[in-house]
Amino acid sequence: MNRAWQASWHPRTAVALHDLFMVWAGWNLAHWLRYQLLPFEKAQPLWPSEMPVVLIAQGAVLAIFGLYRGIWRFASLPDLWNIIRAAVVGTLMIFLSLFLISRLEGAPRSVFLIYPLVLTLLLGLPRLTFRLWKDRALSFRSRPGQTRVLLLGAGATGDLLARDLPRDGDYYPVGFLDDERRLAGSKLRGLPVFGSINKLSEIVRSQAIDLAIIAIPSASNQQMQRIVELCEADGVTFRTVPRLNDLVSGRSSIHELKHVAIEDLLGREPVALDWLAIEGGLKGRSVMVSGGGGSIGGELCRQIAELGPARLTILERSEHNLYEIERELRRDWPELILDPLLIDVCDRSAVDWAMSEYQPEVVFHAAAFKHVPLLEQQMREAARNNIVGTRELAIAADRHGVGRFVLISSDKAVNPRSVMGATKRAAEVLCQALAENSTTSFITVRFGNVLNSAGSVVPLFQEQISAGRPVTVTHPEVTRYFMTIPEACQLIMQVASIGDDGEIYALDMGEPIRIQYLAEQMIRLAGKIPGKEVEIKITGLRPGEKLKEELFHEQERYQPTDWPQILVAMHRPHDWHRVEQSVSAIRHACETMDTKTIEVALSDLVPEYRRGQPLTDQENIVPLPARPASG
């Protein structure tokens, strides 16, 4: 007999023997109680003739209900419910067996009412007692080397952590802090609630705290900022539990401790989405995503796959990106009908063939170049991909009767000063003009910077911090709107389900974030001090960049929708023939590498485009020195 078999077999054998002993004791105790309540002419022997039947029938039921597999240390209410069911079913089995064997001779009927109650107590009390003893022993016995933990939040999550952390053996919960006044001075699982979170510094010193855990998955970003600042000011190590959205979706478990990410501090409150409308618009439908291997396109593919489309077609010109997203989708959604196509959206023949072959009902156009400074020197490529590519895909969608075409745009398309912004605005104009004479609904979604997307500022800052180099900020007052990749994709799918033809939708993104504040927070989250251990270097605005971005043009007259935080702009009318003439000129100029013609045609499509124009008087702010590290 090997040791592994012994380790797994012996505890279960002990549990089985214990439970069978309790069955024997319970059957006899039920008889004794029956005699005490209703006097009978003779006493019950310790080993009555029916006992083998009782042990076999009840033992089999206990095994079927899994009581021998349970771990007493983790016994809970579900285990008690399992015991009750096993006792009741076992009683029925004993009753039927004895009836068939002896017509219940010598077995008083009242015993069958008393027995399951007695057995439930005899099986449940030892488990509960053992659980309470282990929990108390683990909770209140600090051992050398254990991490002393302060839980920030005395709600349901804090309660679960206080119960489960000691089982790991490495953590010793000391108590709670919570802003709920009525909890101050009370106890939860025997641990004190010291007071509000503002007392963090005092409690960290007095209780020798090693780790603070933010146990508030529903915390707003303002609350997270405050708590993180308190932890940073006191120098205590801190971790958090996953956000509420990740817990609800099943992406994370409540017991997973993680570092606080920049998304926890800069993202906004979750947008209230109509998931029934989103699912109704995509489930069972054929969907196409261009640029499906990129940051936004890839996340769109994941969320669409979760909703159960009839098929998902991906257009992607990067071989590596297409390979990665195909591998992931086939692994996580093996039943999904997936068509990964290595296609450039500027290739008219390939795009038209894909539309004809796969007949999508909804198209998400995420294929675009978006790096502002780089594209200032790559006008031809920016115009070709962002304008000509949109034209080929949109015309093909119109020709093949696609129901909805969703263009993914950018806040940089509003009053653009960059090539990237101008080409995205031209794509918007193209779709709006085409919508006026098409059966396809062309809808535009416009949003700001996406945290952690390819080429965004967050990965750049992370790289600079990890390498020990200065973090480069273009201007101390430069601000941007931010949202997370999942939030951006959810907004896109929501708009696809509710959007009207030709309109532009955007998320009410609240207050823009100063990039310098972003840099300071990322440095602190890396455990370093801004301005001391990591320098913040002001480099000046790069070509095409603005101090502030906007979500709507002044003539678009935006207004709220029925969905909170989603705004809609009344689109400006555009003449399709004039737009098509300019886009055709750009297409021909791309083939001949004629950047001057591209710039002229682009200015005709987007009159508000001012490439390389100096900052306006309002924006022409004298560079300020870096702000103090407190941000």
Left (φ > 0), alpha (ψ -120 to 50) or beta: where does 557 sit? left
How confident is the model over 510-530, as pLDDT tens digits? 677 888 888 888 888 887 888
pTM: 0.66
> Does residue 149 have a pLDDT over 60?
yes
How confident is the model over 568-620, as pLDDT tens digits? 877 777 888 999 999 999 999 999 999 999 999 999 999 989 875 544 434 43
How confident is the model over 476-495, as pLDDT tens digits? 888 887 777 877 888 889 88
184 neighbors 190 (Cβ within 8 angstroms): no
How confident is the model over 251-303, as pLDDT tens digits? 555 456 777 777 777 655 556 677 788 888 899 999 999 999 998 999 999 99
For the chain, domains (ranges, CATH) are 3-137 (no CATH), 147-260 (3.40.50.720), 281-605 (3.40.50.720)
Rounded to an integer, the average pLDDT of 234-251 is 69
pLDDT band at residue 348 under the 50/70/90 scheme: very high
Mean pLDDT in the chain?
A: 81
Task: Identify the pLDDT of residue 22.
Answer: 84
With a pLDDT cut of 90, the percent of the chain lying above it is: 33
Task: Identify the pLDDT of residue 86.
Answer: 83
Rounded to an integer, the average pLDDT of 360-365 is 97
How confident is the model over 366-375, as pLDDT tens digits? 999 988 889 9
Query: In whole angstroms, what is the distance from residue 294 CA to residue 385 CA?
Result: 14
Task: Identify the pLDDT of residue 484.
Answer: 77
Identify which of 48, 7, 25, 9 has the alpha carbon closest to the alpha carbon of residue 126. 25
The two tokens of residue 299 are: 């996340």
Task: Identify the pLDDT of residue 12.
Answer: 66
> Does residue 42 have a pLDDT over 80?
no
366 neighbors 321 (Cβ within 8 angstroms): no
Task: Identify the pLDDT of residue 134.
Answer: 58
Task: Identify the pLDDT of residue 254.
Answer: 47
Identify which of 13, 30, 34, 12 has the alpha carbon closest to the alpha carbon of residue 90. 30
Rounded to an integer, the average pLDDT of 181-205 is 88
Please report, for residues 227, 255, 479, the alpha-carbon distance to residue 483 in angstroms, rounded to integers and kept in the order given. 21, 26, 13
Identify which of 453, 439, 440, 379 has the alpha carbon closest to the alpha carbon of residue 410. 453
Rounded to an integer, the average pLDDT of 443-466 is 79
Residue count of the chain: 631
The two tokens of residue 250 are: 């099943």
R_g over Cα of the chain: 33
Identify which of 310, 314, 300 has the alpha carbon closest to the alpha carbon of residue 493. 300
Identify which of 247, 186, 184 has the alpha carbon closest to the alpha carbon of residue 215. 247
Task: Identify the pLDDT of residue 292.
Answer: 96
How confident is the model over 380-434, as pLDDT tens digits? 999 999 999 999 999 999 999 999 999 999 888 888 989 999 999 999 999 999 9
260 neighbors 525 (Cβ within 8 angstroms): yes
Query: In whole angstroms, what is the distance from residue 224 CA to residue 562 CA?
Result: 29
pLDDT band at residue 157 under the 50/70/90 scheme: confident
Alpha carbon dihedral 446, 447, 453, 457, in 10-degree steps, equals 130
Q: Which is more confidently placed, 241 or 630?
A: 241
